[in-house]
Amino acid sequence: MEQKKISKSLMGKRSRASGQRFEAKVRADLENMGWIVDKWTNTVDYDREGKIGKVVPAKRKYNPFKRAMAIGTGFPDFICFKTINKKKDEETIEGTILPEIYLKENKNKIFDVIGVEIKSNGYLDKIEKGMCFWLLKNKVFSKILIAKKKQEGRKIKIEYKEFEQKCLK
């Protein structure tokens, strides 16, 4: 009863393919919930000592042997938005004051913008947690969701967990 050994190369190919399938499944699920979904191609670059950060384009990954480029390497994986109906007499939503120009042009529309990071196990590393904290602190996204796999019988379901700011304070 000897099991076949799988090479590291084959394991990597399978795990990348599995991640891409799960990412496509999450995107379809978000679109079914009414979100407009796009790949986020930016990331956070911040000076660790000065605590000054900014959103910059993510570096592209290039493999000269396969001549393939991975364009969507940003953090978080997706940016999602949808419109929220707003009452005319209301000037704030969830404590955020909106600019007057925006209120004059779009009296009945407000967009909710969130970031979605996809992790099979649902855990972020220390650097990713720092980026999430910075993105929420600087109001780039109203919230960041972490999508993880949840096994139910033979099916894989998607479980969304909201990133909480209090875990880094």
Q: Which residues contact 106 (CB under 8 A, 6 or more apart)?
A: none
Other C-beta atoms lying within 10 Å of the C-beta of residue 48: 8
Residue 119 has pLDDT above 50, yes or no: yes
Residue 28 has pLDDT above 60, yes or no: yes
Residue 65 has pLDDT above 80, yes or no: no
**Please, which contacts does 84-87 make with residues 24 or more away whose CB atoms are closer than 8 Å?**
84/109, 84/110, 84/111, 84/112, 85/109, 85/110, 86/110
Other C-beta atoms lying within 10 Å of the C-beta of residue 106: 13
Residue 92 has pLDDT above 80, yes or no: no
Q: For the chain, where are the E strands, in sequence order? A: 36-39, 42-47, 52-57, 61-63, 68-70, 78-85, 92-93, 96-97, 109-118, 143-152, 155-162
> Quick one: tokens of 152?
């139910």
Domain positions in the chain:
8-167
> Quick one: tokens of 164?
């909480």
pLDDT at 150: 92
Residue 129 has pLDDT above 50, yes or no: yes
pLDDT at 13: 86
